[in-house]
Amino acid sequence: MSQVVISILFVIFMVASSVTEARKCGFPAIFNFGDSNSDTGGLSAAFGQAPPPNGITFFHTPAGRFSDGRLVIDFIAKNLGLPYLSAYLDSIGSNFSSGANFATAGSTIRPQNTTRSQSGYSPISLDVQLAQYSDFKTRSINVRKKEGVFKKLLPKEEYFSEALYTFDIGQNDLTAGYKLNMTTEQVKGYIPDVLNQFSSAIRSVYKEGGRSFWVHNTGPLGCLPYILDPYPMSSADMDNFGCAKPFNEIAQYFNQKLKEAVVKLREELQEATIVYVDVYKVKYTLISHARKYGFEKGVIACCGKGGKYNFNNVARCGATKIVNGKKILIAKSCKAPSVRIIWDGIHYTEAANNWIFQQIVNGNFSDPPVSLKMACHDQL
């Protein structure tokens, strides 16, 4: 072959590989913001460990997660070849060299005007998570300039711009209004304020240098026992799969507005890639076709203490009672969490989280339709 032919083949090869291989983003770190759907130990570090049997399936001990095992964020980290994320608030055994998790169970986007003991919501709302992230970034960069043990546990400066920023938050902003006895119209009325504050959060990360965003919408909360149990519905308000339609409608309304907010942010933040992931659709598909995908009992919680949905708000999963001076577990796990969808009436099982992750990883439910590994690109 002549030199020319070889050179041409080489150019063709380079071009071909640049449209396939070279396009992978190679995220060196993940920074996550959210609520219990993605909390890997934040609330546990601040307010007490998630009790057993949380963690039984995978970690074989409570591991800061409200699930029997891993969450979608854990499968995201694994898929990107990164370790499971340490919670920013967790001072024990944490390693932040590949990112940090700012999510806590019960977090809302908007700061609430009630305390955690009054309403159960975490005081670490999204604005606080952002403040923590910003301080984490500044201090990591300073500490890494000094030699010493901490250098090995913190991300490199360039990771802050190269990282994937993931968000899964909003569900608690919706339930917060209902807890204050607001009507659906009143809840709808404050959604624009919630989304303005969400957009501000994305803008702040962009200002700090973040460019790749992976945003989960909110799930079908009308299919969760912690909603179904305290808000009984008329049969006309229930769908064929045992979910409460009005609550799913408000979740979908929120998601539609979230999607609009993301479209606006894309116009404004020219260098950002913001992927919107329709987790609602995936979770609802799973619940509505449970048998087809190898799962049982739809919306019934696996871990709990009796009632129509195996959910009792005063004896949630892991609740104990003292009998003859001995602590015994009264809200236990079901026998086979691996075939169940709902873990404790609020959160999903590891098996369901894994299934959900498998659906979203390839970009099938994303807008733009890019896969997780390509989430630094606006299009394919």
Ligand X SMILES: *[C@@H]1O[C@H](CO)[C@@H](O)[C@H](O)[C@H]1NC(C)=O
Give me the active site residues, please.
Answer: 36, 344, 347
Taking alpha carbons only, the member of 184, 167, 163, 166 closest to residue 175 is 184
Give the residue with the Cβ less far from ligand X, 5 or 149. Answer: 149
For residue 143, the one-letter residue type is V
Residue numbers 68-97 binding ligand X by CB under 6 A: 83, 95, 97
Please identify which residue in 14, 16, 180, 336 interacts with ligand X, judged by CB under 6 A: 180
Q: How many residues does the chain have?
A: 380
Among 364, 367, 368, 377, binds ligand X (CB under 6 A): 364
As measured in angstroms, the least distance from the Cβ of 69 to ligand X is 21
- Residue 172 β-bridge partners: none
- Please list the residues that pair with 87 across neighbouring strands: 101
Q: Considering only CA atoms, which of 37, 46, 133, 34 is closest in space to residue 91? A: 46
Interface pick for ligand X out of 40, 98, 101, 171 (rule CB under 6 A): 98
184 makes contact with ligand X (CB under 6 A): no
Which one of residues 37, 54, 57, 112 is an interface residue with ligand X (CB under 6 A)?
Answer: 112
- DSSP tag of 370: -
Residue 175 touching ligand X (CB under 6 A): no
Nearest in space to 343 (alpha carbons), one of 298, 308, 374, 303: 303
* Distant-in-sequence, close-in-space partners of 228: CB < 8 Å, separation ≥ 6: 222, 242, 243, 244, 299, 308, 309, 311
Between 83 and 306, name the residue whose CB sits nearer to ligand X.
Answer: 83
User: What span, in angstroms and rounded, lies between the C-alpha atoms of 313 and 329?
Assistant: 15
Nearest distance in Å: CB 196, ligand X: 11
Stretch that binds ligand X, among 6-14, 38-46, 110-118, 317-325 (CB under 6 A): 110-118
Size of the site for ligand X (CB under 6 A): 13
Regarding 362 and contact with ligand X (CB under 6 A), the answer is: yes
Shortest distance (Å) from residue 191 CB to ligand X? 12
Report the relative pairing of strands 212-216 and 273-277 from DSSP bridges: parallel
Separation of first and last alpha carbons in the chain: 35
Nearest-approach distance from CB 180 to ligand X, in angstroms: 5
**Cβ contacts of residue 40 below 8 Å, gap of 6+?**
63, 64, 65, 71, 73, 74, 84, 85, 86, 87, 101, 103
Work out how close the CB of 318 gets to ligand X at its nearest, in angstroms, rounded to a whole number: 26
- Under rule CB under 6 A, residue 181 binds ligand X: yes
Of residues 153 and 339, the one with the C-beta less far from ligand X: 153
Q: Binding ligand X by CB under 6 A: which of 152, 291, 326, 335?
A: 152
Contact between 305 and ligand X per CB under 6 A: no
- Stretch of 72-80, 105-113, 255-263, 367-375 contacting ligand X, by CB under 6 A: 105-113
Cα distance between residue 18 and residue 257, in whole Å: 36
Minimum CB separation from ligand X for residue 39, in Å?
20
Among 95, 117, 231, 91, CA closest to 174: 231
The site for ligand X (CB under 6 A) is made up of 83, 95, 97-98, 110, 112-113, 152-153, 180-181, 362, 364
